[in-house]
Amino acid sequence: MWCTVAFNHTYYFYLQEQHEVLEGMFKRMSTLFSDMAKYYAFDPKKYTLDEFMGDIKTFIEQFKVCWKNIDFRFFPFYSIHLKTKKYL
pLDDT in tens, 17-69: 999 999 999 999 999 999 999 998 989 889 988 999 999 999 999 998 888 87
Query: How high is the pLDDT of residue 8?
Result: 78
Range of the domain at 56: 48-88
What pTM, to 2 d.p., does this model score?
A: 0.58
pLDDT at residue 5 tops 60:
no
Query: How high is the pLDDT of residue 49?
Result: 87
Both 31 and 62 in one domain: the answer is no
Both 52 and 86 in one domain: the answer is yes
Cβ atoms within 10 Å of 4's Cβ, excluding its own: 8
Alpha helices in the chain (DSSP H): 2-40, 49-69, 76-84
Report the number of distinct structural domains present in the chain. Answer: 2
Contact 37, 43 (CB under 8 A): yes
Say which residue, 58 or 11, is predicted with more confidence. 58
Query: How high is the pLDDT of residue 12?
Result: 87
